[in-house]
Amino acid sequence: MLWNIRWNNGVFKADYRQQLLATISVTIISLSHGVALGWFSPMLMKMQSPATPLNFSLDVHESSWLGAMISLGALTGNTFFSIILSRLGRKVAIYSLAFPHALLWLLLYYARSINYLYAARFFTGFTGGGSYVVVPIFVGEICDSSIRGRLTSLFGLTINLGTLFGYILSSHVHYHNIPWIVLPLPCLFLFLVTRYPETPQFLLRAGKEKRAEQAFIFYQGRRCMHTLKENLRNQFEQLKTTYGNHKSDGKKVTYQDFFEGKSLKVLGIGFVLGIIHSYSGLFAFMSYMSNIFAATKTDLHPDTNTIITGVVQVIGSYLAIGIVDRYGRRILMITSITGVGLGTAALGLYAFLVEKNDVDLSSFSYWLPVFLMSFIIFMSNIGLNAIIYVIMVEILPSKIRSTGTMFFMVAWSISTFIALKLFPISMHFFGLSSTMWFCSAVSIFGVLFVAIFLKETKGTSFDGVSNVILS
């Protein structure tokens, strides 16, 4: 069983109940963010057409800026929320996610020019960039090591569920009705997260040992029964040693902490993983899915194909939750990136034959493009799309985790901005085939990199992962 849906086992075990409920509550914002991501792809084609639901239509350059604007927002959100995360705490950062997300839907509803859309996409990225920093750290810090991979992977699953919902809404619901359907989600998120305390790790770093112990007891659930048993007492003492020292010994995070040999290695690994993710095309596929299907001249409507791949995306990320703590991060990443590389190479070949115009593909056009894209999306979501968030948080030493995560996300946002800006232009001038083959080449590099540099961290304590990576 993937989640072992019995109330006495797995993530549903009573001992982990508060960890699970807290994770579900905070990932409502990632679900809502996914809707904002999925909304864009089918709606972009409508806004490019004469039948646009707005009083203006978009050309290819405006579309590319609109697609890439999300990364500029993410860059800003990464920085802003990382500062909030480090200085004011995880809970304040979580609360702060709701307001810009609600604002983006209001901007979309009242859009009177392209600038409204630019601003809405910016706030989509701003909230998303904050979510990618805040949610994995919060979930990673409150969860037991035996279920941490599964619950952190729930972040990716909810984004994909939201993306599928966004695909469906954008394909079948009028433009101006969508914001009012989605706006209740950030409100529900804000209501639910108020009952959960700050993470014990942040409270210890802030010198609030009593509150940290209370938070630790809360998240450990029935295992504590309002007092710390011996094995949990040892865990809490270890947390005090790890995080309390940063407060008591007067050491603050400095630039030198990032330029030590050990820190440079884990930062380099995270940076390259972000590059692989960006240029293997996964964010671009999500944003320009309907345009990609239109370029393959498939017999199915592009929006229908997009929804089908959205379903496959959810299935893949659901599988990742069940197997990440069973088979480990490294093998899933290698398998996932290999599949993405093979799929993009095959789709590039199909697109090349379509572009030649002298090859009869009528017997394949109904099913092969959607099959290949579904294969790419499925393979990406059993590893690269879901587990990368787990890995990026896990590999960082505790002292630089918040700031290091910001570095990862800033670098990732810049590379994703470039990829999203260039993807539609590359399709326009060089064709879909060349664009896909480039993504395949990046994936081949990714397989080699992960095989050489990424070590397995399954079952390792949250604060022991960086030692495994560096060993």
Q: Point out the least confidently predicted range of 74-83, 100-109, 186-195, 388-397.
A: 388-397
Question: Considering its fold, how many domains does the chain have in total?
Answer: 1
Residue 173 has phi, psi (to 5 degrees) of -115, 145
* pLDDT of the residue at 268: 82
* pLDDT of the residue at 246: 53
Q: Point out the least confidently predicted range of 83-92, 186-195, 311-320, 383-392.
A: 383-392
- The Cα–Cα gap between 288 and 68 comes to 11
CA 468 vs CA 394, 463, 465: distances in Å = 10, 10, 5
* pLDDT of the residue at 287: 79
CATH number of the domain bearing residue 19:
1.20.1250.20
* pLDDT of the residue at 358: 67
Overall average pLDDT of the 184-195 stretch: 92
Residue 36 lies in a domain: yes
Residue 367 half-sphere exposure, CB side, CA atoms within 13 Å? 2
Residue 190 lies in a domain: yes
- pTM for the model stands at 0.75
Q: What is the phi-psi region of residue 59: left when phi exceeds 0, alpha when psi lies from -120 to 50, beta otherwise?
A: beta
pLDDT-based confidence at residue 225 (cuts at 50, 70, 90)? low
- The Cα–Cα gap between 196 and 189 comes to 12
Identify the CA nearest to 274 among candidates 379, 392, 376, 134. Answer: 392
- The Cα–Cα gap between 348 and 332 comes to 24
- Which amino acid is present at 444? I
* pLDDT of the residue at 2: 44
Overall average pLDDT of the 133-137 stretch: 86
Residue 236 lies in a domain: no
pLDDT-based confidence at residue 248 (cuts at 50, 70, 90)? very low
Identify the CA nearest to 77 among candidates 135, 30, 126. Answer: 126
Identify the CA nearest to 68 among candidates 413, 376, 386, 385. Answer: 413
Q: Is residue 250 within 8 Å of residue 235, measured between CB atoms?
A: no
pLDDT-based confidence at residue 389 (cuts at 50, 70, 90)? low
Residue 224 lies in a domain: no
Domain range for 59: 12-196+253-470
pLDDT-based confidence at residue 261 (cuts at 50, 70, 90)? low
Q: With 60 as the cut, is the pLDDT of residue 44 above it? A: yes
Query: To the nearest whole number, what is the mean pLDDT of the chain?
Result: 81
Q: What percent of the chain has pLDDT over 90?
A: 23
* pLDDT of the residue at 1: 40
Q: Is residue 361 within 8 Å of residue 299, measured between CB atoms?
A: no
* pLDDT of the residue at 256: 67
Identify the CA nearest to 469 among candidates 402, 406, 391. Answer: 391
Residue 3 lies in a domain: no
End-to-end Cα distance, the chain: 33
Dihedral of the alpha carbons of 139, 142, 146, 147, in degrees to the nearest 10: -40
Q: Is residue 244 within 8 Å of residue 204, measured between CB atoms?
A: yes
DSSP notation for 381-417: HTTHHHHHHHHHHHTS-GGGHHHHHHHHHHHHHHHHH
Identify the CA nearest to 143 among candidates 458, 456, 461. Answer: 461
Give per-residue pLDDT as tens, 156-166: 789 889 989 99
- The Cα–Cα gap between 87 and 253 comes to 12
Residue 211 lies in a domain: no
Q: With 70 as the cut, is the pLDDT of residue 8 above it? A: no
Residue 334 has phi, psi (to 5 degrees) of -65, -45
CA 271 vs CA 85, 391, 408, 409: distances in Å = 20, 12, 6, 9
Q: Does an H or E element contain 236, and which?
A: helix 230-239
Residues 6+ away with beta carbon under 8 Å from 34: 158, 159, 160, 161, 162, 163, 164, 165, 166
SS3 358: coil
Identify the CA nearest to 60 among candidates 334, 298, 294, 386. Answer: 294
DSSP notation for 41-108: HHHHHHHHSTT-SSSS---HHHHHHHHHHHHHHHHHHHHHHHHHHHHT-HHHHHHHTHHHHHHHHHHH
Dihedral of the alpha carbons of 157, 163, 166, 168, in degrees to the nearest 10: -80
* pLDDT of the residue at 223: 57
pLDDT-based confidence at residue 446 (cuts at 50, 70, 90)? very high
CA 227, chain centre distance (Å): 36
